Chain A
Amino acid sequence: MIRFDQVGKRYANGHVGLHELTFRVRQGEFLFVTGHSGAGKSTLLRLLLAMERPTSGKLLLAGQDLSTISTAQIPFLRRQIGVVFQNHQLLFDRSVFDNVALPLQILGLGREEIARRVGTALERVSLHDKAELFPADLSTGQQQRVGIARAVVHQPALLLADEPTGNLDPRLAAEIMGVFEDINRLGTTVLIASHDLALIARMRHRMLTLQRGRLIGDGEAA
């Protein structure tokens, strides 16, 4: 599903974000990427989302080379990816329903189909009774679940999450991780960037450890 071959990212100011990273992720896998702040977790996610391009090496996502992908192809690639942000990135002038419906509107599905799929996605995160509310009416945990519903409503092949439990208490964080595991069981590859080692250890999934842009560990969280 994902193949990093000697992937490096050097910025114009000389800072090295990633240093010759090499690893593979199988389809349907659940893995964490961990490391301290500045380790390169976010850079790795930005490369997978084609927000940035590698400056060296080869990065393949489902056979597509992200080093050479054309700008016109990027939106179609991103339609196969779901992304969850630490700060939710919800649109506060739109209802929960409209926030979750956004990827489907971009895909151009009919209104009835959108309503059905949004209903299913909200049910999956237990927010089916909050569809008409606005994000400001929800708690932080509920907002994060709206973000997850939006990320999975179009049933992507890959789900990326950047510190999805960063602002949540341990109980809520565990619940959110449960949602990710459910999504993973449906066949979606899940890659979560997190520095919450205690939480990762409880989950017992594969963990990549980054330090200053280098991969220093690859194995199941202990």
Chain B
Amino acid sequence: MSATRVPPPKPSERVGATRKAENGRINDEPDFQTLLRAWLESHRASLIDSLRRLARQPIGSFFTCLVMAIALSLPMGLALLLDSVERLGGSWQRAAQVSVYLDLKASEQRGEALRDEIAAMEDVAEAQWISREQALEEFQQLSGLGDALRELPENPLPGVVLVTPREIDKARLEALRLRLAELPDVNQAQLDLLWVERLSAILKLGERFVFGLTLLLVLALLLVIGNTIRLHIENRRTEIEVIKLVGGTDGYVRRPFLYMGALYGLGAGLLAWAVLAYGLNWLDQAVVRLAGLYGSDFALLGVPLGDGFSLVLGAVLLGYIGAWLAVARHLRELAPR
């Protein structure tokens, strides 16, 4: 073999040797247009290359996305369930009432007058009078002790004014309760918010649990994506070394892996959205049936569009960050010492 003689390229074509300044220094400052073109071309090539590599291993790529999707859907699913329970708790809270028990001696007219007086108060949205007879009748129906109650010599239940407050604010409710308790002929004013407080405490605990779980699973996701990208890096070690030696910047080396991480995240985010939508829909049928038995029209929320997009965006970011961390570690190993 002998090397083919080719005419030397025109000076303007020389990328390296003739791009020297007059003082002999190598001109290592590429112009803006070259940089921009290189950047765009590199992004296009990196994206296509990453897509090709993922498509070349469809099963492996799918399972990596699925693992990430499951890890993502757990905290997101719990958060959505908590949202639904909070919504339910909120509606119950709004229905919180103060029960104003009158003296047994208070007459029907006195009860009605008291109801009107209470209804006129600023903090009160509604007041309802339940006479002693109505109370007994209702109790007989609900308790199933109708026969036994009929045997009693006299009605033991007092008349009650059910007060619905305008706002659920613990301090204001307590002030209202005290005002109601001091009214004439009132034996007791009872505000039972304990169950609301308990529910609120449980929900807060749930939120903390979801937050902790999210942190742990985000860490796990970063490890999963980091490890996956690390394997890709190991498989392309020679390529990275060659790219670095022919002048590839860290950004150039990093780019295809970042796209790969982001694509894994995108796949995982979409899968997680689908898993959640299907899972919540499946659960909702049972919840609606159960709520119906309690006379409620409560139903699960599903995955709101905004939350779905946040989930996908978060997953893409996690994939990107995981890939960044994995590549950064490798690039440090290749730095000159």
Q: A: which residues have CB within 8 A of B?
A: 1, 12, 27, 49-53, 61-64, 71-83, 89, 91, 102-110, 117, 120, 123-126, 128, 141, 150, 154-157, 172, 175, 178-179, 182, 186-188
**Which residues of A are found within 8 Å of B2, using beta-carbon distances?**
126, 175, 178
**Which residues of B are found within 8 Å of A78, using beta-carbon distances?**
244-247
Interface size class of B (residues with CB under 8 A): 35 or more
Interface residues of B in 26-72 (CB under 8 A from A): 26, 28-30, 34-35, 37-42, 45
**Which residues of B are found within 8 Å of A186, using beta-carbon distances?**
8, 17
Q: Is the CB of A77 within 8 A of B26?
A: yes
| Stretch in B158-166, B180-188, B235-243 touching the partner | B235-243
- Nearest-CB residue, chain B, relative to A124: B6
Chain B contact surface mostly:
loop
> How distant is the Cα of A179 from the Cα of B14 in the complex, in angstroms?
18
Residues A106 and B248 in contact in the complex (CB < 8 Å), given A52-B336, A126-B3, A178-B3 = yes
Interface residues of B in 223-265 (CB under 8 A from A): 238-239, 241-250, 252
Q: Is the CB of A155 within 8 A of B16?
A: yes
Question: Is B293 an interface residue when CB atoms closer than 8 A count as contact?
Answer: no
18 other A-B residue contacts (CB within 8 Å) besides A73-B28, A108-B38, A141-B1: A51-B336, A76-B30, A77-B26, A78-B247, A79-B28, A80-B17, A91-B242, A106-B243, A106-B246, A106-B252, A120-B6, A124-B3, A125-B4, A126-B1, A128-B4, A154-B246, A156-B17, A179-B3
Q: Is the CB of B42 within 8 A of A105?
A: yes
Question: Is B23 an interface residue when CB atoms closer than 8 A count as contact?
Answer: yes
3 closest Cβ pairs, A-B complex: A108-B38, A79-B247, A63-B25
**Which residues of A are found within 8 Å of B337, using beta-carbon distances?**
12, 52-53
> How distant is the Cα of A160 from the Cα of B45 in the complex, in angstroms?
28
**Which residues of B are found within 8 Å of A49, using beta-carbon distances?**
245
> How distant is the Cα of A127 from the Cα of B209 in the complex, in angstroms?
65
**Which residues of B are found within 8 Å of A109, using beta-carbon distances?**
15, 37, 41
Closest Cβ of chain B to A130, distance in Å, is 12
Q: Is the CB of A108 within 8 A of B37?
A: yes
> How distant is the Cα of A148 from the Cα of B20 in the complex, in angstroms?
22
- Nearest-CB residue, chain B, relative to A79: B247
> How distant is the Cα of A122 from the Cα of B45 in the complex, in angstroms?
23
